[in-house]
Chains A and B, each alone.
Chain A
């Protein structure tokens, strides 16, 4: 890049090099083998543009389509997430990026908008969601007022904002837990990249692999960064994190249907006493990881992206240095001094792949963990949320929060944004610490609660909590399921309604002597829940209208008759006189009816 510009006149060299400092682009793929034959692949793409360039509509690495939307609605900071699956914290450990680049299942969007009033913010939010909906082919336009909240404690701006704009920035947050993230969301995501998926690590991104992952999250963050003494830049960071099941990914493309392995290929746990030639206890995942990059992703990297900063190696893998890795020709290996990771500079005009070969072990100790992967870190907090109770009438939510640390307490904000048709009873909110009998209300330090209004807005509940070391807290509350108008049910109403994930923001610790991972904010999200509501019979609106109207007409008509008509003796009533045969038949029927009634209707 520089090489090309050096042929230009000296003034423009100066100009361009100045731009190159403030507007740069880099990308990196971080591979981290996880236990049980899983592989975490974190793609990170980041580009900067100076604010003055951005305001002059001079987009270089910053995507123009997104930039124009942001300028139109006065967005100061934007975060968009597309996620699928569940992060298995018990076996995979702490989340990538401390959970700050993931969303709840579905689509999650939060942004700081510049607005004087709430109404202006709502208006801008509406046009932002509609524009993003078109850009990302997602149903973001369904983030209406019932799904929008204004979090109070959970989210803080990540960028640097001058105090003048901070005063009238409004945070809005919306979730679509039912949205199915798929290929049509990936394509526009890749289009935003400078290399557009044609070169660099983004060539590995393929809908078939990404959406086949056990867990995946696509993130877009846009924020202004002001370093000391330099011009502020607007940074767009795109990240994709995915956990691939290696066994599943290694299946050949042309024969993707899984078939049972023949007996001689089965991996058996030979330590079982009944292990013999014809009995086998299958051992999954105990063999060390062996795979090749082009094998799990289906293709090799098509050279480095020429626009990216060449100082930063594009591919890194976290395995101990004791393991050998064989790469394709032209790549240079840079080992990290900590002994646990290494990175690769890859050639810009040639494909790149590597092989992590099989390592042989002493046969008898199949189960013992060998030093072939880096042990995952323990997360700061485990969270699990589920429904309790049965039936369509009422239920409860129970969240189990565990602090695994033996010596440090953890402080966090727990945020729920629930749909309005889930009517929660805040007076039933209880916490208790596992093993302690007393109800420990002091776990909750602060509550922010905005109750739901029918068809207008959902519930917003934020709790600031502090959990003592090595303890588990059960947080429970009751709710009532409401019945909706029949037009408000989605197609397939008996499937249920998705309830958005709870967002947990672990607050940075105040004391200075804690480890580095506790000094910054980290996030974690529970899974979404499926809420089944009582359903009416969708096939019979007409019948119901007719039946109810009949019941009312019977009551009204009966009473009306009694009130209006005059009483006379049965013998004083004028006879019905209709001529002809018809009249005779009618009179006969009436007489018969009178006789039948006479037996019953005689009164005292």
Chain B
């Protein structure tokens, strides 16, 4: 309790500054939110705020928003947003909601960082664990990341997913497996892909709970948590069914992620691939892409069993690259979790390369998109090429981080090899 108070005093200034910065941006650049909402890099068909408004409009006028091709977001967002005043007339309430969500995410991140789980888990304690950043720095890096600010202003609905995932992790670390599973269910309900985070999250919750209670064996624990998630999800689906009066929201929200019927450009690899794909191979490659996305979960959970938080971070990074409708809002989540692993930064080999690739594509992406869509002097390949670079840069960062974590583990076994040149065989 006392610690909580101190923590609040420490962060109040930070949170106030972050909120103030966002409010000032909203106040002094009134056109900026709509401009960013319209950017394909931030708003995807499954998260766009403009589509949410359309869904809300239809919902308020008793037309099923799922009987149409525009709204693909979770049904419970509709009553939530219809509680707020009309966003076009009183945008300030929406702004405040999104600022609060950002602060809540930062709060969860703070807790994760302060727990020290990243460098010292139950099964593994890094030799470099003293070289970590405090929660203050990690939260500040999240809150003042330009990507986070842009995401907050564009108001896509996956900030709710981000917040739910971070809270799930924070609760798992705090030793509340059931709250963690509830948060993960919310994230899954909103975006579907977070269900893939379940195995490492269960491991994390198990590890953290083990020290305090020593309750049950891992399979038993995993089974109970899976049942909790299944129960929460069924309750959410049932609530959505009662809300919309039919099951068609399932096909419209999750079906579109599985079948990719909306090919609006985004920063990911799927859209152009499936624009150009031959019709007879479409289903096959959809299956391959989804299989590829889910195949990392098992491998990483087994190989880096001792550091479940590292597995979660790497998975979040992979999803930000390879999920069907990625946006920089997903990258934001990954970049928020990377600073937790400050202690392995010296072991990374391609920091400069990946950072400059990401920066390069950040600046060139909008330019190439403009050339294609507005100027007409470029074609679709321009933007496609930049999304390839963006994905490669991010995947370089992910694999480099993985390498650093594994080397850190290996150096615990062989302390004499610190600083030596190594090879993998």
Interface residues, chain A, CB within 8 Å of chain B? 390-394, 420, 423, 425-427, 447, 449-455, 480, 482-487, 534-537, 540-541, 544-545, 547-548, 551-552, 554-556, 558-563, 565-570, 573-574, 598, 601-604
Contacts and interface: CB of A to CB of B under 8 A. Distances in A.
A232 B184 CA distance: 69
Q: 6 smallest A-B Cβ distances: which pairs?
A: A451-B68, A555-B395, A427-B57, A565-B424, A541-B276, A570-B421
Given A453-B67, A482-B264, 4 more contacts: A425-B50, A454-B261, A570-B423, A604-B346
Nearest to A489: B275
Contacts of B57: 426-427
B70 A534 contact: no
B378 to A, nearest CB: 10
A535 B54 contact: no
A551 to B, nearest CB: 5
Interface in B287-308: 292, 296, 299-300, 303
A6 B263 CA distance: 73
A290 B61 CA distance: 59
Contacts of A455: 261
A453 B263 contact: no
A455 B276 CA distance: 17
B395 A561 contact: no
Contacts of B379: 535-537
B73 interface: no
Interface stretch (B139-147, B217-225, B398-406): B398-406
Contacts of B321: 555
Contact of B277 (A447, A484, A485): A485
B56 interface: yes
A482 B48 CA distance: 14
A454 B68 CA distance: 8
A452 B68 contact: yes
Contact of B67 (A425, A451, A566): A451
27 contacts: A426-B54, A427-B53, A451-B63, A451-B67, A455-B261, A483-B263, A484-B263, A485-B274, A486-B275, A487-B278, A537-B379, A537-B381, A541-B276, A544-B272, A547-B384, A551-B388, A554-B395, A555-B318, A555-B321, A555-B322, A558-B396, A565-B424, A566-B424, A568-B422, A569-B422, A570-B423, A603-B421
Contacts of B263: 482-485
Interface in B345-381: 346-347, 349, 372-374, 379-381
Contact of B292 (A390, A453, A552): A552
B380 A536 contact: yes
B247 interface: no
Given A534-B373, A554-B392, A483 B265 contact: yes
A479 B45 CA distance: 14
Given A453-B67, A454-B69, A563-B303, A545 B273 contact: yes
B407 interface: yes
Contact of A536 (B58, B68, B275, B318): B275
B264 A483 contact: yes
Interface string B236-273: 00000000000000000000000001111100010111
A567 B422 contact: yes
A423 B269 contact: no
A548 B384 CA distance: 10
A390 B410 contact: no
A242 B274 CA distance: 46
A485 B53 contact: no
Nearest to A448: B63
Contacts of B419: 603-604
B373 A552 contact: no
A552 B380 CA distance: 20
Interface in B27-50: 38, 40, 50
A603 B69 contact: no
Contacts of B425: 565-566, 568, 573-574
Given A420-B69, A537-B379, A547 B388 contact: yes
B214 interface: no
A562 B58 contact: no
**A455, A484, A556: most-surrounded residue (chain B CB, <10 A):** A556
Contact of A483 (B273, B275, B391, B420): B275
A165 B271 CA distance: 49
Given A540-B381, A574-B425, A449 B373 contact: no
A271 B352 CA distance: 79
A570 B272 contact: no
A425 B395 contact: no
B18 to A, nearest CB: 30
B403 to A, nearest CB: 5
A310 B37 CA distance: 70
A449 B64 CA distance: 11
Contacts of A569: 417, 420-423
B391 A451 contact: no
A541 B279 CA distance: 11
A568 B273 CA distance: 39
Given A423-B69, A425-B70, A483-B271, A563 B398 contact: no
Nearest to B60: A427
A196 B346 CA distance: 90
A487 B88 CA distance: 38
B391 A555 contact: yes
A561 B423 CA distance: 11
B424 A601 contact: no
Nearest to B269: A548
Residue from the set B265, B274, B275, B396 with the largest chain A CB neighbour count within 10 Å: B275
A419 B54 CA distance: 18
A568 B423 contact: yes
Nearest to B289: A552
Nearest to A452: B69
B373 A393 contact: yes
B28 to A, nearest CB: 25
Contacts of B372: 392, 534
Contact of B273 (A392, A423, A544, A601): A544
B63 A449 contact: yes
Contacts of A427: 53-54, 56-57, 88
Contacts of A604: 346-347, 419
B54 A425 contact: yes
Contacts of B403: 562
A556 B374 CA distance: 35
A558 B395 contact: yes
A354 to B, nearest CB: 54
B391 A551 contact: yes
Given A540-B381, A544-B273, A544-B276, A451 B423 contact: no
Given A427-B56, A570-B422, A486 B70 contact: no
A455 B256 CA distance: 13
Nearest to A427: B57
Contact of B380 (A534, A574, A602): A534
Interface in B53-82: 53-54, 56-58, 61, 63, 67-70
Contacts of B264: 480, 482-483
Contacts of A536: 272, 275-276, 379-380
A548 B70 CA distance: 27
A537 B54 contact: no
Nearest to B272: A544
B38 A390 contact: no
B54 A485 contact: no
